[in-house]
Structure 1
Protein backbone atom coordinates (compact mmCIF):
# COMPACT_ATOMS: atom_id res chain seq x y z
CA UNK A 1 0.00 0.00 0.00
CA UNK A 2 1.34 3.44 -0.94
CA UNK A 3 0.34 6.65 0.89
CA UNK A 4 1.16 10.14 -0.25
CA UNK A 5 1.32 12.89 2.30
CA UNK A 6 -0.46 16.11 1.63
CA UNK A 7 2.27 18.73 2.10
CA UNK A 8 -0.19 21.61 2.27
CA UNK A 9 -1.29 20.65 5.75
CA UNK A 10 2.22 21.43 7.03
CA UNK A 11 2.26 24.94 5.59
CA UNK A 12 2.00 27.70 8.15
CA UNK A 13 -0.34 30.50 7.35
CA UNK A 14 -1.51 33.55 9.18
CA UNK A 15 -4.69 32.82 11.07
CA UNK A 16 -6.69 35.92 11.97
CA UNK A 17 -8.18 34.06 14.95
CA UNK A 18 -4.79 33.55 16.58
CA UNK A 19 -3.56 36.38 18.81
CA UNK A 20 -0.72 38.54 17.51
CA UNK A 21 2.66 38.33 19.18
CA UNK A 22 2.96 40.69 22.08
CA UNK A 23 5.08 43.78 21.44
CA UNK A 24 6.48 43.84 24.99
CA UNK A 25 10.09 43.06 24.10
CA UNK A 26 10.40 45.79 21.47
CA UNK A 27 8.69 48.25 23.80
CA UNK A 28 10.86 47.41 26.82
CA UNK A 29 14.04 47.61 24.74
CA UNK A 30 13.20 51.16 23.70
CA UNK A 31 12.14 52.19 27.20
CA UNK A 32 15.43 50.86 28.61
CA UNK A 33 17.32 52.85 25.95
CA UNK A 34 15.50 56.01 27.08
CA UNK A 35 16.77 55.23 30.59
CA UNK A 36 20.33 55.48 29.20
CA UNK A 37 21.35 52.16 30.72
CA UNK A 38 20.94 53.56 34.23
CA UNK A 39 17.51 52.21 35.13
CA UNK A 40 16.75 48.84 36.66
CA UNK A 41 13.49 47.24 35.57
CA UNK A 42 11.42 46.40 38.64
CA UNK A 43 8.15 45.38 37.04
CA UNK A 44 6.36 45.09 33.73
CA UNK A 45 2.66 44.29 33.47
CA UNK A 46 0.62 43.97 30.30
CA UNK A 47 -3.12 43.69 29.86
CA UNK A 48 -5.31 43.69 26.79
CA UNK A 49 -7.16 46.84 25.84
CA UNK A 50 -10.00 47.50 23.39
CA UNK A 51 -12.22 50.38 22.41
CA UNK A 52 -15.06 50.59 19.91
CA UNK A 53 -12.56 51.01 17.06
CA UNK A 54 -9.13 49.89 18.30
CA UNK A 55 -7.44 46.89 19.89
CA UNK A 56 -4.17 46.91 21.75
CA UNK A 57 -2.52 46.56 25.13
CA UNK A 58 -1.73 48.68 28.16
CA UNK A 59 1.74 48.33 29.68
CA UNK A 60 2.84 49.43 33.15
CA UNK A 61 6.61 49.70 33.55
CA UNK A 62 8.28 50.43 36.88
CA UNK A 63 11.98 51.34 36.95
CA UNK A 64 14.42 52.31 39.67
CA UNK A 65 17.37 54.68 39.34
CA UNK A 66 19.92 54.52 42.17
CA UNK A 67 22.71 57.08 42.67
CA UNK A 68 23.17 60.65 41.45
CA UNK A 69 24.17 59.75 37.88
CA UNK A 70 21.30 57.30 37.54
CA UNK A 71 18.82 59.84 38.92
CA UNK A 72 19.91 62.32 36.25
CA UNK A 73 19.14 59.63 33.65
CA UNK A 74 15.78 59.03 35.35
CA UNK A 75 14.92 62.71 35.12
CA UNK A 76 15.82 62.58 31.41
CA UNK A 77 13.51 59.55 31.08
CA UNK A 78 10.65 61.52 32.71
CA UNK A 79 11.16 64.43 30.29
CA UNK A 80 11.50 62.40 27.10
CA UNK A 81 9.10 59.45 27.48
CA UNK A 82 5.79 61.24 26.75
CA UNK A 83 6.98 62.65 23.39
CA UNK A 84 9.24 59.79 22.30
CA UNK A 85 8.56 58.31 18.84
CA UNK A 86 8.51 54.56 19.45
CA UNK A 87 9.04 52.04 16.66
CA UNK A 88 7.12 48.92 17.68
CA UNK A 89 6.35 46.66 14.71
CA UNK A 90 2.62 46.40 14.04
CA UNK A 91 1.74 48.86 16.81
CA UNK A 92 1.48 52.57 17.52
CA UNK A 93 2.14 54.04 20.95
CA UNK A 94 -1.01 56.08 21.48
CA UNK A 95 -0.10 57.35 24.94
CA UNK A 96 2.96 57.29 27.18
CA UNK A 97 2.52 58.79 30.64
CA UNK A 98 4.49 58.92 33.87
CA UNK A 99 1.88 57.93 36.47
CA UNK A 100 4.00 57.88 39.64
CA UNK A 101 7.41 58.89 40.95
CA UNK A 102 9.03 58.30 44.33
CA UNK A 103 12.28 60.05 45.22
CA UNK A 104 14.16 59.07 48.40
CA UNK A 105 17.55 60.22 49.72
CA UNK A 106 18.45 57.66 52.38
CA UNK A 107 20.24 55.31 52.61
CA UNK A 108 21.21 56.44 49.09
CA UNK A 109 19.54 58.63 46.46
CA UNK A 110 16.90 56.63 44.61
CA UNK A 111 14.21 57.52 42.09
CA UNK A 112 11.43 55.06 41.27
CA UNK A 113 9.32 55.81 38.20
CA UNK A 114 6.14 54.12 37.02
CA UNK A 115 5.02 54.69 33.44
CA UNK A 116 1.94 53.55 31.57
CA UNK A 117 1.95 53.09 27.80
CA UNK A 118 -1.00 52.36 25.56
CA UNK A 119 -0.23 50.47 22.35
CA UNK A 120 -2.79 50.05 19.59
CA UNK A 121 -2.52 47.61 16.74
CA UNK A 122 -1.61 49.32 13.48
CA UNK A 123 -4.20 48.40 10.87
Structure 2
Protein backbone atom coordinates (compact mmCIF):
# COMPACT_ATOMS: atom_id res chain seq x y z
CA UNK A 1 0.00 0.00 0.00
CA UNK A 2 1.18 3.42 -0.82
CA UNK A 3 0.44 6.17 1.58
CA UNK A 4 0.04 9.33 -0.40
CA UNK A 5 -0.08 12.48 1.60
CA UNK A 6 -0.74 15.95 0.43
CA UNK A 7 2.34 18.13 0.27
CA UNK A 8 2.55 20.55 3.17
CA UNK A 9 0.99 23.92 2.57
CA UNK A 10 3.37 26.83 2.43
CA UNK A 11 2.99 29.12 5.44
CA UNK A 12 0.56 31.98 4.99
CA UNK A 13 2.35 35.23 4.53
CA UNK A 14 0.81 37.92 6.69
CA UNK A 15 0.64 41.25 4.96
CA UNK A 16 1.76 44.13 7.09
CA UNK A 17 0.22 47.58 7.17
CA UNK A 18 3.20 48.77 5.09
CA UNK A 19 2.47 46.05 2.50
CA UNK A 20 -1.18 47.11 2.33
CA UNK A 21 -0.23 50.78 2.03
CA UNK A 22 2.17 50.06 -0.85
CA UNK A 23 -0.54 48.02 -2.56
CA UNK A 24 -3.08 50.85 -2.12
CA UNK A 25 -0.65 53.43 -3.51
CA UNK A 26 0.21 51.27 -6.52
CA UNK A 27 -3.51 50.83 -7.16
CA UNK A 28 -4.02 54.60 -6.94
CA UNK A 29 -1.21 54.92 -9.51
CA UNK A 30 -3.16 52.58 -11.80
CA UNK A 31 -0.43 49.93 -11.35
CA UNK A 32 1.95 51.96 -13.52
CA UNK A 33 4.25 52.84 -10.63
CA UNK A 34 7.10 51.05 -8.94
CA UNK A 35 8.12 51.61 -5.31
CA UNK A 36 11.75 52.75 -5.23
CA UNK A 37 11.94 53.46 -1.51
CA UNK A 38 9.71 53.04 1.55
CA UNK A 39 10.62 54.14 5.06
CA UNK A 40 8.38 53.75 8.09
CA UNK A 41 8.81 55.47 11.43
CA UNK A 42 6.72 55.20 14.60
CA UNK A 43 4.74 58.33 15.43
CA UNK A 44 2.76 59.30 18.52
CA UNK A 45 1.05 62.26 20.11
CA UNK A 46 -0.65 62.53 23.48
CA UNK A 47 -3.87 61.05 22.08
CA UNK A 48 -2.86 59.08 18.96
CA UNK A 49 -0.32 56.47 17.88
CA UNK A 50 0.64 55.46 14.39
CA UNK A 51 3.35 55.50 11.75
CA UNK A 52 4.73 58.01 9.29
CA UNK A 53 5.55 56.58 5.87
CA UNK A 54 7.81 58.15 3.25
CA UNK A 55 7.78 56.62 -0.22
CA UNK A 56 9.29 57.25 -3.63
CA UNK A 57 7.40 55.89 -6.63
CA UNK A 58 8.73 55.71 -10.18
CA UNK A 59 6.45 56.11 -13.19
CA UNK A 60 8.42 55.28 -16.37
CA UNK A 61 7.04 55.79 -19.89
CA UNK A 62 4.37 58.01 -21.41
CA UNK A 63 1.35 56.13 -20.03
CA UNK A 64 2.97 55.71 -16.62
CA UNK A 65 3.87 59.41 -16.36
CA UNK A 66 0.26 60.32 -17.15
CA UNK A 67 -0.90 57.90 -14.43
CA UNK A 68 1.67 59.46 -12.07
CA UNK A 69 0.27 62.92 -12.71
CA UNK A 70 -3.23 61.63 -11.89
CA UNK A 71 -1.74 60.01 -8.76
CA UNK A 72 -0.33 63.40 -7.66
CA UNK A 73 -3.72 65.06 -8.14
CA UNK A 74 -5.66 62.31 -6.33
CA UNK A 75 -3.40 61.47 -3.36
CA UNK A 76 -4.25 64.30 -0.92
CA UNK A 77 -8.01 63.60 -1.00
CA UNK A 78 -7.96 59.83 -1.54
CA UNK A 79 -9.98 57.72 0.91
CA UNK A 80 -7.79 54.75 1.83
CA UNK A 81 -9.26 51.48 3.12
CA UNK A 82 -6.57 50.02 5.36
CA UNK A 83 -7.82 47.64 8.08
CA UNK A 84 -7.17 49.03 11.56
CA UNK A 85 -5.65 52.24 10.19
CA UNK A 86 -6.83 55.74 9.40
CA UNK A 87 -4.84 57.85 6.94
CA UNK A 88 -4.72 61.20 8.73
CA UNK A 89 -2.51 62.93 6.16
CA UNK A 90 -1.32 62.12 2.66
CA UNK A 91 0.81 64.59 0.76
CA UNK A 92 3.13 64.81 -2.22
CA UNK A 93 6.48 65.99 -0.88
CA UNK A 94 8.08 66.33 -4.30
CA UNK A 95 8.03 65.29 -7.94
CA UNK A 96 10.82 65.06 -10.49
CA UNK A 97 10.02 64.89 -14.22
CA UNK A 98 12.53 63.80 -16.84
CA UNK A 99 11.90 63.61 -20.56
CA UNK A 100 15.20 62.17 -21.80
CA UNK A 101 16.25 59.52 -22.56
CA UNK A 102 12.61 58.50 -21.92
CA UNK A 103 9.77 60.07 -19.93
CA UNK A 104 9.80 59.33 -16.23
CA UNK A 105 8.34 60.78 -13.06
CA UNK A 106 9.51 60.13 -9.52
CA UNK A 107 6.97 61.06 -6.85
CA UNK A 108 7.93 61.45 -3.18
CA UNK A 109 4.97 61.16 -0.84
CA UNK A 110 4.43 61.18 2.91
CA UNK A 111 1.54 59.59 4.75
CA UNK A 112 0.59 59.57 8.41
CA UNK A 113 -1.34 56.48 9.49
CA UNK A 114 -3.08 56.40 12.85
CA UNK A 115 -4.21 53.27 14.63
CA UNK A 116 -7.99 53.11 14.33
CA UNK A 117 -9.50 52.57 17.75
- Distance in 1 between residues matched to 2:19 and 2:51, nearest whole Å: 13
Corresponding residue of 2:48: 54
Unaligned 5+ segments in structure 1 are 1-20
TM-score relative to the length of structure 1: 0.80
After TM superposition, the score normalised by the length of structure 2 is 0.84
User: Residue 106 of structure 1: SS of its match in structure 2?
Assistant: coil
Which residues of structure 2 form unaligned runs of 5+?
Answer: 1-14
**Structure 2 residue 107 is matched with structure 1 residue 77:** no
Q: What aligned pairs does 1:101-120 form with structure 2 within 5 A after superposition?
A: 101-120=95-114
The Cα of 1:28 is off from its aligned counterpart by 1.0
Q: Any residues of structure 2 matched to 1:1-123 within 5 Å, and which?
A: 22-123=16-117
Q: CA RMSD in A?
A: 1.2
The 1-side partners of 2:101 and 2:86 are apart by 40
> Following the alignment from structure 1 to structure 2, what is the Cα–Cα distance between the partners of residues 49 and 22?
17
Runs of 4+ in structure 1 deviating by more than 4 angstroms, as ranges, are none
Equivalent pairs counted in the alignment come to 103
